[in-house]
Chains A and B, each alone.
Chain A
């Protein structure tokens, strides 16, 4: 057939006509009792409605665009109907035979009929284009088409057809030409009401839709078609049936013509009964009125969708319990968990099987020798023997295992193996070369040459690398010549370190007797070194103490001078130029010092030949009075004395420097610096006469150095409280000089004020604390002179040092400032009015009262707020910043993550840590366990509905599948 669009519709039409004809003939056949009993049997079978197919067809029908495809398919199937195969012949032999006989009888009319068929096709085409609902007619007529007598009823898919649901309208019927099938369908159609005894609601719905969407029945194709003799209506069919029941008188003339006389006579009563039944059914069918107009496409689609949804919902219901259970379970474990490697001894022994040749050989040897365990066990069933055999078995298994392991290890070749291998290779090579030299000297020579070249190149490379290395070393250390120097230096360093260690380890008394670096010692230590000196001069004690001291000092100085004249070391660490230089410098400085000291000493002896005896001399005398008994103790005492004396001397040496004239000088300096009148200086001078112990020792020194010691941490060094007796003392002193402050001026007020203040001091604290507080107040009052800056400094210093009530006030103020800053900033941000706008300016302008009032109110409110805040801060002196830490904001989420509905829920989730550091192992594993755990390579069983397959069967099926497609990898490789 041609494949053009017109020809397609033509083909369809012709097909339809054919089918109608087929239907007709079938009906006749039915009337004649020709319907096969086989087919009749099938009617009762309830087969499920294949909805999908139905829907597909339905859609095809409705969609105009895809109509052609369907028609083509139809066409083809019609064409294929002509293929008649043996099966069919076998099955429908009887019918075919009758048809054949008929065909032979009416040979001449065939051509004519075909011509007519074609003519009819043209008409049908017109109808189809006019009325799209026609296809549905065709769809309907599918089931009731009949084979043309001349076309053999060929069934392409009998099995499939059989499997098809009989209760439904088979929409796949693309013009099947098999008469039996059609007859069957027809009968189904006819019997439909009976078949569906308890029709499903969905089924009913479907049917309704089906009917609704059927625009026209096959029986009312069109008025113009009715005039044709081959146009069939229900009435026609009914008429046929009536005629069948009565003597044969039908309006289908050609049928009558076709039927032979002999056939007509074959009718019997049974058939008539069936026909009447069929007729009645057809009549009911006729009464069901079809909707005249088709649904619009979207509507139809909607209906379609709803239908589908209902079906799907119903279908999916059955999974619900399973899905629910799966969802609720903590973890789904798919695939078996393999048992851990059973490496127990028993397992190894029991599962031993000889695999290698050696093992097998050994086993056979054992068997031969009759040492096989089984035999032995048979032979000697006693307990001891059994034990022995077990041991043997175990030993054997273990031995083999070890051997296998060793073999495996040996396979992984070691370095030694390679070494040996290489050597062997070389030997082999040599041999080969020797042989080659005999056989083919030229080749051997060339090979040899090549080889040597290679060697030479390698050697060159090695040499160059070595040179490079050397060069690098030389560049770093100054050549090879420097190497010994380096090592020497290293050695020296080491020796030095050892010496220092040695010194450190020996007792401190002996440490400096070695006299290696004396100048160093003089700087480092004070007492010990002097002790030594004392020892040296311990015996000699002539002259007054002062003289003695002076003499010693002189001696020391001279010694110093002498030492400086010593030659500089030529070897060792100190021979290095920079060391020498340093030593020289050191010596120079010490020489200068010594000379200066000598000079001073001489001066002193000149200026003060008769000095007031030191009270300490008495002390010494006292000590001397107390003479120990025995000699040993005497010696110790002497030593002690010497030490004491030396200490005194040292002190003196310091004090000697600051005798009267020095003090005078210092006073001058102080005066100059303070710019104060002389009275105060005198006062200070008076103070100096007081025992020095009462003052911090720095007091004196500051007068000369006029420096505040800053590097000492004040807070820790200055005691907050002083012992009571010292309080007494300060009272006496009235105003102790503040050693820490340069411009200290004693307060002008007197003790009255101070006493009052001390009384006023906070009551809660203990005496000492209070005293300190009071004192501080007083002192503060004393510092109210000088510039504001200085005053502030003093206050700060004092506040750091003592307790005071100002801390709280300061804190409140600070907090207030912070808050105020914030407030003003806020105000600025919020206030919309510009200064000067909306106001009058100039002279004589009255202030805006309202505004003023507003201002006042605001001010009052502000004050109230401040007071409140102050109260709060005083009650709880804490200020927590209100600033947002936006730098950390990147670690927050801006929205609550799914599925949490509130911040609390999400935050709560984070509260308990997940990590193994904060949880026990089991809990940790539980917390991180995946919902679904699938072993690698395991078959994930699909959800199986119980009605389809029992779990057992399903599992075994899977097992089978699994064992067939065995995965190579059993574990996850990480």
Chain B
């Protein structure tokens, strides 16, 4: 039996040839293939990489030893090992990055970096860097600005109606328009081809040629604009204290929260989790997501109105009217440091990509370095003054050591060494992107668009195990099942003898709808009764009154008279009651009478 296996006809002569499949003594294929040469990376020596913690996103899993399942245990171990290796390699691959960051350094103990003037620095700059500096004297100030995400385009808007988009490489303006009304905020959207401006009344969207694409009339008297690039959300907030999220890819408003916190003039996003931070006049900062109608976090930051704010990694910088600006740790919601400013309160606070803090107050600009570190810096890193002007806005240019300031007399740039990240990821934000690349990126970004309800305080939780109480989950599941069951379409029976006539069917549908509404009404009445002790008499009476009628119910707001009665009885507490509108002439007459008497009576 075991002596030989028959070969296919005519193939016996090939017996000598041996396929070089790696096998062990038992004949099992055992050797894993080496990865292709292009992907082979040298094995790392056991060295400690200083920058490794920067890349570490995972924690060591405890108790792997105790896992009883052998297979799982080995899998977990392998996972740990791979992740560790991944971190190490990322850290080691940093040497491949072409540029390194650098800062201004003072020589000797007496020299101060903040005493270096822009002229001094400029004199020692190379030509390429000097070309990035400009000073635009414009008469429609004060100016607010925004850089495109790759730092190539600068959008600025003067309060008196001037909006312009500048290509910072060629120094040519793509458009330069005057909208002849107040411009309060400007924002570059996904890329420079679409920009938004909050004008006197509405928010407008322009293309790169300055042609008005949209007028967003839902956003009224907007003070601040913010754009969440991964979710395609344009967020606005303003005079009426309404935070609105609008998806610019579909044009739909995905969420709108009434804050009830007064006009909001400070808003920034946390780039880590796309949560919006709003600064209020009562000194609080509130954190918002589209999912929640209430702030996810509310913190008192200043004993005066919040005037400026920005977020960088786990830190938030706020400036208030109480004479201080502070650094906050967003993991603990605790202050890290506080600093005093002088003169006018800061109108703008901004973090650079490397974590420098820029402050604009009155005619001064200050840049602080290492403000988020444990050791509090004693003095600013750099300073710049524009005597006689008011500086409105400070923005650091991404991937460049340049900071743009918008002031009452135009827009200028400053050199701030070490402000920009030295290396860019061309798949993420490429300052030198070509038209084709831009288009490709547009498509890719759209495909990778995140849903607005994925915005949570802790984005790492997405995909993980739900930690809500079991009861909540079960209840939800039950509801879902119920809904699914109710959604199932029932095939209407075909009845004979005229019972399936169109009129009859319509009547039946109406009857069903009426009963559904009645049910709902009863439910609501019950709820209100539970809240107030007993059901409101009108609602109950109405419910009793209209039992027999079909289609006579309307989910209407309270009629005026009942509203008044209600107000009189329950002291102004607003209640929504189902009321059947009464249309008889007598009733109308009575209502008018009541109205007249009410208006006559002095309040």
Interface residues, chain A, with chain B CB atoms under 8 Å away: 48, 321-322, 325-334, 336-337, 711, 713, 715-716, 719-721, 765-766, 768-769, 796, 799-805, 807-808, 810-811, 814-815, 828, 835-836, 876-881, 883-896, 899-901, 903-913, 917-923, 925-927, 933, 941, 943-964
Contacts and interface: CB of A to CB of B under 8 A. Distances in A.
B51 interface: no
B307 A332 contact: no
A886 B476 contact: yes
A361 to B, nearest CB: 37
B40 A922 contact: yes
Interface of B is mostly: loop
Contacts of B24: 322, 325, 951
User: Shortest 4 CB-CB distances between A and B: which pairs?
Assistant: A333-B33, A877-B300, A892-B466, A322-B28
Interface stretch (B2-10, B111-119, B128-136, B497-505): B2-10
B57 interface: yes
Nearest to B71: A899
B323 A721 contact: yes
B15 A799 contact: no
A333 B31 CA distance: 7
Contacts of A921: 38-39, 41
Given A804-B303, A877-B299, A905-B61, A885 B28 contact: no
Contacts of A907: 464-465
Contacts of A947: 2
Given A721-B323, A911-B58, A331 B28 contact: no
A946 B498 CA distance: 83
Contacts of B304: 720, 802-804, 807
A796 B262 contact: yes
Given A881-B297, A899-B72, A908-B58, A891 B282 contact: no
B215 interface: no
A333 B30 CA distance: 8
Nearest to A48: B1
A876 B334 contact: yes
B27 interface: yes
B442 interface: no
12 contacts: A322-B27, A325-B24, A720-B323, A889-B468, A892-B463, A893-B465, A893-B466, A894-B477, A920-B86, A941-B21, A956-B14, A964-B11
Contacts of B30: 325-326, 329
Nearest to B64: A905
Interface residues of B, number: 110
Of B8, B35, B75, B86, most A-chain CB atoms within 10 Å: B86
Contacts of A769: 322-323
Q: Which of B23, B72, B303 has the most CB of A within 10 A?
A: B303
Contacts of B26: 321-322, 945-946, 951
Given A720-B345, A881-B292, A922 B89 contact: yes
Interface stretch (B367-375, B454-462, B536-544): B454-462
Nearest to B285: A878
B105 interface: no
A889 B466 CA distance: 7
A881 B296 contact: yes
Given A912-B86, A949-B5, A885 B456 contact: yes
Contacts of B460: 910-911
Interface stretch (B76-84, B351-359, B588-596): B76-84
A139 B428 CA distance: 81
A604 B412 CA distance: 47
Contact of B321 (A322, A802, A828, A951): A802
Which of A719, A892, A963, A964 has the largest number of chain B CB atoms within 10 A? A892
Contact of B292 (A803, A883, A903): A883
B294 A960 contact: no
Nearest to B333: A878
Interface string B309-334: 00000000000111100000000011
Contact of B299 (A879, A957, A958): A879
A803 B465 contact: no
A425 B452 CA distance: 63
A720 B345 CA distance: 7
Nearest to A723: B343
Contacts of A836: 533
Nearest to A950: B27
B430 interface: no
B50 interface: no
B466 A880 contact: no
Residue from A337, A803, A927, A933 having most chain B Cβ neighbours under 10 A: A803
Contacts of B473: 889, 894
Contacts of B1: 48
A960 B454 contact: no
B465 A885 contact: no
Nearest to A874: B300
Given A325-B24, A879-B299, A331 B33 contact: yes
A204 B68 CA distance: 39
A962 to B, nearest CB: 8
A955 B468 CA distance: 57
B107 interface: no
Interface string B58-70: 1101100001010
B194 interface: no
B255 to A, nearest CB: 10
Given A325-B28, A917-B427, 17 more contacts: A333-B29, A334-B21, A336-B21, A716-B347, A803-B302, A803-B322, A811-B284, A881-B295, A885-B291, A888-B454, A889-B476, A891-B462, A906-B464, A920-B41, A941-B21, A946-B26, A951-B24
B248 interface: no
Contacts of B340: 766
Nearest to A880: B297
Given A919-B90, A922-B39, A959-B17, A899 B75 contact: yes
B453 interface: yes
> Which of the listed residues A332, A807, A885, A959 has the most CB atoms from chain B within 10 Å of its own CB?
A807
B89 A923 contact: yes
Contacts of B2: 947-948
Nearest to A318: B26
Contacts of A906: 464-465
Which of B69, B90, B322, B340 lies at the interface centre, i.e. has the most chain A CB atoms within 10 A of its CB?
B322
A955 B19 contact: yes
B25 A946 contact: yes
Interface in B271-301: 281-284, 289, 291-292, 294-300
A896 B465 contact: yes
B265 A715 contact: yes
B388 interface: no
B41 A922 contact: yes
B36 to A, nearest CB: 8
Nearest to B456: A888
Nearest to B468: A884
Nearest to A769: B323
Given A715-B345, A877-B300, A807 B283 contact: yes
A757 B138 CA distance: 46
